[in-house]
Amino acid sequence: MNTRAVTLALVIAVLAMVMVYTYIEDQKTVLIQTFGQENSVVVAKIDIKEFEIIDDSKVTVVNVPAKFRSPGHFKTIKEVENTVATVPIIKGEQITKPRVTYPGQSTGLSRQVSVGKRAMAINVNNSQAAGKLIKPGDRVDIVAKVDYSGGRKNFIKVFTILQDILILSTGNDISNNIPLIGMKVDEEVRKLNLNTFSNYNTVTLELDPFQAQKMAFFIEGLGATPTLILRNNSDKNIVNLPPTKLFDVLGSESAEAKQFFADQTKK
């Protein structure tokens, strides 16, 4: 075996590799000088329809030379999560600020409603809405008085109609909180003061179809005035409550009232 020939071949191969590497690096330097360093941009992973909610399943991050970055581009997926596409976006296209917005009045309320649920607005005043400190994203129980006896106090009952109900909006103020499943409140909403949402006369509830019918019957059919009882958003406990009657309120003093109503019935 010719050792000298093998050694020469190895030297030539190494020199060739060095020359190729040097050439590639030179070309890379030229490209960087011409087009700039590579930077991260967010692009569509699939075709995104107009008014479609954007999440991490629809976008990805790629590196492109600085010269090819679109104005108003995003660098991380977190920046575009839970936004709404204002125009159709084609697969591979960069996501830019003019093409997205946050859920709100401009995008409508329907995008906030969970699949299988319905949005129903009811009129409220200060006493019905916890001093109007209820805001979008809060959860409430709904209590109402039922009087089917024409004003006979011993037959009036107060029911907890529904429990753990999501507030979609207060008046025209909408939050992109819980209704969009798994979504988080954007920074602008998180910083809002409570009084931002206090100027309203209606609240919109997220209900399933049966709950919506039930609420409509209580309000329209029985003339009941619902009261919203604010609860902690982390409290998911549903309590089986019987209706409250006058005698429940009076407690140990109810005997006298029962006798009074019994005497009234005999007259």
Domains of the chain, start order: 38-101 (3.90.1210.10), 111-266 (no CATH)
pLDDT score, position 198? 64
pLDDT by residue, tens only, the chain of 267 residues? 567 777 777 878 888 888 888 878 777 777 677 777 888 999 999 999 877 888 889 999 998 888 888 888 899 998 888 788 888 999 999 999 888 887 655 556 776 788 889 999 999 998 888 888 888 888 999 999 888 777 677 778 888 999 999 998 888 766 543 334 344 444 444 444 444 456 788 899 999 999 999 999 988 888 888 999 999 988 999 999 888 887 777 777 777 666 666 666 666
pLDDT score, position 83? 83
Residue pair 117/141 in contact (Cβ under 8 Å)? The answer is no
Structure pTM? 0.55
The DSSP code for 205 is: E
Residue pair 206/117 in contact (Cβ under 8 Å)? The answer is yes
Q: Which residue has the tokens 């029985």?
A: 222
Secondary structure class of 59 (helix, strand, coil) = strand
Element (H, E) at 139: strand 139-146
- As a whole number of angstroms, the distance between CA 76 and CA 167 comes to 30
pLDDT score, position 106? 56
